[in-house]
Amino acid sequence: MRGSKGAHGPWRSGRKALVSSRFASAAARLSGRGESETRRSEGARMADMVRTRIAPSPTGDPHVGTAYVALFNYAWARKNGGQFILRIEDTDRERSNPASERMIFEALHWLGLSWDEGPDVGGPFGPYRQSERSEIYREHAERLVATGSAYPCFCTKERLEALREEQRRAKVAHALGYDGHCRAVPPAEGQRRRAAGEPHVIRLAMPREGETVVSDLLRGELRFDNTLVDDQVLIKSDGYPTYHLANVVDDHLMGITHVIRAEEWISSLPKHAMLYRAFGWDLPVFCHLPLLRNTDKSKISKRKNPVSLNYYRRAGYLPEALLNFLALQGWAIAEDREEFTLDEFIATFELSKVTLGGPVFDLEKLTWMNGKYIRKLTVPQLLDRLRGDLLSDEYLLKVLTLAHERIERLEEFVEYASFFFVGELEYDAEARGKLVAKKCTPEQTALALERLLEESLDQLLEWEPARIEETMRAYCEATGWKTSDLFMPVRVAVTGKAATPPLFETMAVLGKEICRRRLRRAAETLRAMKAEGNPGAHGGEDEKP
RNA sequence: GGCCCUGUCGUCUAACGGUCAGGACACUGGUCUUUCAAGCCAGCAGCACGGGUUCGACUCCCGUCAGGGCCGCCA
């Protein structure tokens, strides 16, 4: 995935031809006229045009992996004088959420990664939100059905589940996936049943023999046995496209030249390649970046590592430090150097030199690097940073609103509101006592706090008092907890105190990231209490002899 | 289980057939300092294993092993 400017290294011979023709067609689309009409000088410039994109799905908190992939896409586009596009992949109607989309915009802006085209800034290839492009996908899917590259499938969910179950049990591991049942339905009959309104999806008809070979900029030729790739759903029964269809159609229509994405997509590469082929389109350059990892090498996840960009922002990581650190995951600017600015990154970045080993996200090193960046600031600059987030008027106003009627001298404010400004909390003896829910063991309380977090609060994206309250009450309802029994441990967990402003307002002001961190920490504290003989607990059944 | 990807200090990485395998985080010791940091200096620690190819392999090929990803009408 590179402009001709940087087209050395892995780009030689055969592949080069593919790439340049790809650029030419992208250029034609970009200029909005045929390539032949393009003026020569402009044509030369356009032929070099690199277009990359980040295509997050707005289904949760803004993810550090999104920032990682966005950074590399951004740098590659900038380095080649091309464009970087933000596209929202919200084709999952259940999970997509406007709050999440907003947070993604904010987080990327915070990092300083700006896009040339996107839902918020517009652009010549919009709309940039897939939910607003349904008609485009439908048309394209029909085109495939018409040519026999896709077909309607009427299989019920039940049948698919049964099929999956049977395959699992029979251990026909090589034939996992859809069995192509509806491929046998004659087109005319399929047409009739669709017209009659029978629920169905549209599936891609994968070739039943041969192999699909796709080249990856970093990994060379990737080969897949077609018989092992099942018929992927292209259009869901709700009429929305799946990622696979929308992604391919949009990348083509938006003139994306380099698809730089995470490694987890490699296994769907053959499906994507088949789609391009079925449409008669040239393939973009594919480049699969390694996945960020937890300490145990598994794909980075919120259970084992902070992954929300909101966490890093709230914890006081500087965006430039985070970016610098992220750039180091898979790439090195020089043998003995690792601190550099975004501009330096852009200037020196070479996609082909990205390393492939899955980098363990080392929070400790990030933190060290952040310290370096803090020390590089002048004191007034540091002040500005603090005033930008943690000590912004906006935040102070919120805290002050809650402290207002609860202090009698101004100097009390700092102590009263200290938990709004620190990161980790220390739970003193009194707090530890109140951390344990009535009639419960520390262990039980810990479990309840964790479940409240993971099963309820984590899913909540609109972090507002009313929504928090609603969520917590619903949790109590579902689990049989008395709200009064559970809310005190939560209060102590997130504030370290038993006497605080109203819980939900307090949690809202603290923010989700802080609450999440403290709830976790509280659970750990509770577990440790059990280990050390349960000092602060009151009234736990099983501590009585 | 099947397919695919990956494999240099504990961690992030440099090396692109010939180096004492370099740097950084962490760790250890020292230095500076009223303290704590920061800084500086030093130390510890690695080419997963086995075959090839080659005058010569961390570098190329094959195999083994290990780790990871995917196997949804989620992306």
pLDDT surpassing 50 at residue A23:
no
pLDDT of residue A17: 28
Among protein residues, the one whose C-alpha sits closest to the C1' atom of B69 is: A264
Adjacent-strand bridge partners of A289: A262
Which nucleotide has the shortest C1'-to-CA distance from A216? B5
What value of ipTM does the predicted structure carry? 0.96
pLDDT in tens, A103-113: 999 999 999 99
Cis bond upstream, residue A284 (ω within 30):
no
B16 C1' – A163 CA distance, angstroms? Answer: 49
Q: Higher-confidence residue: A3 or A256?
A: A256
Q: Is A302 an active-site residue?
A: yes
Nucleotide nearest to A177 (CA to C1'): B71
Q: Is the pLDDT of residue A200 over 70?
A: yes
Residue A117 has pLDDT above 50, yes or no: yes
Query: Which positions ≥6 away from A354 have C-beta within 8 Å?
Result: A72, A218, A287, A289, A290, A330, A331
Considering only CA atoms, name the residue closest to the C1' of nucleotide B10: A295
Report the pLDDT value the prediction gives residue A43, as an integer from 0 to 100: 39
SS (H, E, C) A31-85: HCCCHHHCCHHHHHHHHCCCEEEECCCCCCCCEHHHHHHHHHHHHHHHHCCCEEE
A47: pLDDT confidence band, cut at 50, 70 and 90? Answer: low
Task: Say how far apart CA A35 and CA A27 lie, in whole Å.
Answer: 7
The DSSP line for A251-291 is: HHHTT--EEEEEGGGGGGHHHHHHHHHHHTPPP-EEEEEPP
Nucleotide closest to residue A288 (CA–C1'): B5
Residue nearest B8, CA–C1′ metric: A357
- Please say if the pLDDT value at position A49 is more than 50: yes
Q: Which residue is nearest to nucleotide B7 (CA to C1')?
A: A357
Confidence of residue A3 (pLDDT cuts 50, 70, 90): very low
Assign A177 a pLDDT band (cuts: 50, 70, 90): confident
State which nucleotides on strand B lie below 7 Å from a protein beta carbon.
1-8, 10-15, 22-26, 38-39, 67-75
Q: What is the pTM of this model?
A: 0.88
A495, pLDDT greater than 50:
yes
Q: How far apart are CA A92 and CA A83, in angstroms?
A: 27
Higher pLDDT, A358 or A10: A358
Is the pLDDT at A40 greater than 50? The verdict is no
| Residue of A302, A304, A398, A497 marked catalytic | A302
What pLDDT does residue A179 have?
81
Cβ neighbours around A99 below 10 Å, total: 16
- pLDDT at residue A328 tops 70: yes
Of the given ranges (A45-54, A128-137, A437-446, A528-537), which has the lowest mean pLDDT?
A528-537
CA–C1' distance A355–B59 (Å)? 15
Place of tokens 């045009």: A49
The pLDDT confidence band at residue A435, using thresholds 50, 70 and 90, is very high
Distances (CA, A) of A534 to A84, A495, A496, A545: 55, 21, 18, 13
> Does the structure show a pLDDT above 50 at A396?
yes
Quick one: average pLDDT of A242-263? 97
- What does the pLDDT average to over A517-544? 66
pLDDT at A21: 33
Confidence tier at A46 by pLDDT (50, 70, 90): low
pLDDT at residue number A82: 96
Mean model confidence pLDDT for chain A: 87
**What pLDDT, on the 0 to 100 scale, is given for residue A172?**
63
Nucleotide nearest to A234 (CA to C1'): B73
| pLDDT value of residue A34 | 32
Whole-number pLDDT of residue A538: 43
CB distance A71 to A323 below 8 Å: yes
HSE toward the beta carbon, residue A161, CA cutoff 13 A: 3
CA of A8 vs C1' of B32, distance in Å?
A: 49
Element (H, E) at A225: strand A220-225
pLDDT of residue A536: 44
pLDDT of the residue at A444: 92
CA dihedral A65→A68→A69→A70, nearest 10 degrees, is 110
A433: left (phi over 0), alpha (psi -120 to 50) or beta: alpha
